[in-house]
Structure 1
Amino acid sequence: MARPGGRSARVQEAVHAAVRDLLGEVGRDALTVPLVAARAGVTPSTVYRRWGDLRELLSDVAVERLRPDADPADLGGLRADLEAWAEQFLDEMASPAGRAYIRDVLLGDPDGENAGRCSAYAAQQIGVVLERAARRGEPAPGVETVIDRLVAPVMYRVLFRPGRLDAAYAHGLVAHALAGR
């Protein structure tokens, strides 16, 4: 079992940083485990033992890149907060980098653990927005309702029907998520 700090954390950070740097320098097609290991200052066997293969490593790096840096903006009301979050989420997921991260998460995730972590990030962010609304006394749907009515359609569109991905689309999904609270 990996410790949350110490050498394990240093190895993970060095390997993740090597992947991010090398993707920018040599591109995805030229990326190899030995190249990543050399840049990170570890042996290839360390990378294989911890991540299994390049796809699983890319998936792990993508999950970390998709983790939000901060809580959603507090604009003073549920609709405004959720619209701002939805616009940002849509922009990030629909961007070329976001699409690549989604692809990496899914391709290197045979057991669904990394996809589950990404889903948990979205649920946590939505939970923050909904908790603020509750403290203000605003009626709000549950987290799963927002996931089903906002996040799921965004992800479907990003992956399979990339047209119509704009603020108006995000706002329409928010209206649907808030309907019948």
Structure 2
Amino acid sequence: MVRPGGRSARVQHAVHTAVRELEAEVGRDALTVPLVAARAGVTPSTIYRRWRDLQQLLSDVAVERLRPDAAPEDRGDLASDLEAWAEQFLDEMASPPGRAYIRDALLGDPDGSNAGQCSAYAAEQVGVVLARAAERGEKAPDVESVIDHVIAPMMYRILFRPGRLDASYARRLVADLLA
């Protein structure tokens, strides 16, 4: 059992910090487990035991980077809230760093747990938007409908058809959902 804030959490924090710092300093292609371990102050075997290889470590770091920093902005109505959230989501995920994080999260994910965690982050954010709408008495779709009609098309295009991804695309998806 892992204790919150215990040694395991400290090791994870140190290793994640080392990856982010080294990525900025030497570039992603120069990262190695021994280099990360030395920066984090742990042995390479500690990293291999926890993450098995560099790709799984990068995947874990990417999932953490994809975690939202704050609750979605409250603009006063469902359409505005959902549009603002979708625009921000698309902007972040379609950016070069966002694409790299998505790629890393999926590449080091043999059992699908990282993809599930990223999906849970998005669903949680959408849930906040929908709960606000319900509190205001607005009729709102369910989370799964937003995933199917807004998030899924954006992710497909980010991964497979990246051209012409802009705020108007996100707004159109939201408008189609709410129509």
On whether the aligned pair clears a TM of 0.5, the verdict is yes
Paired AA for residue 47 in structure 1: I
Counterpart of 2:158 in structure 1 is 158
Paired AA for residue 74 in structure 1: D
Aligned-residue offset at 1:12: 0.4
Matches within 5 A, 1:27-176: 27-176=27-176
Paired AA for residue 142 in structure 2: G
- Superposed CA RMSD in Å reads 0.7
Name the TM-score, length of structure 2 as normaliser.
Answer: 0.98
Name the TM-score, length of structure 1 as normaliser.
Answer: 0.97
Alpha-carbon distance between aligned partners in 2 of 1:162 and 1:51, rounded to the nearest angstrom: 31
Aligned-residue offset at 1:2: 2.5
Structure 2 regions of 5+ residues with no counterpart?
Answer: none
Counterpart of 2:2 in structure 1 is 2
Alpha-carbon distance between aligned partners in 1 of 2:164 and 2:96, rounded to the nearest angstrom: 16
Alpha-carbon distance between aligned partners in 2 of 1:13 and 1:177, rounded to the nearest angstrom: 39
Alpha-carbon distance between aligned partners in 2 of 1:91 and 1:43, rounded to the nearest angstrom: 37
Q: 1:50-87 CA deviation, whole Å, 9 max, x = no partner?
A: 11100000000000000001100000000000000000
Paired AA for residue 154 in structure 1: M
Matches within 5 A, 1:15-30: 15-30=15-30
SS at match of 2:42: coil
Alpha-carbon distance between aligned partners in 2 of 1:87 and 1:14, rounded to the nearest angstrom: 33
Deviating above 6 A after TM superposition, structure 1's stretches of 4 or more consecutive aligned residues are none
- Count of residues in correspondence between the two structures: 179
Alpha-carbon distance between aligned partners in 2 of 1:3 and 1:106, rounded to the nearest angstrom: 27
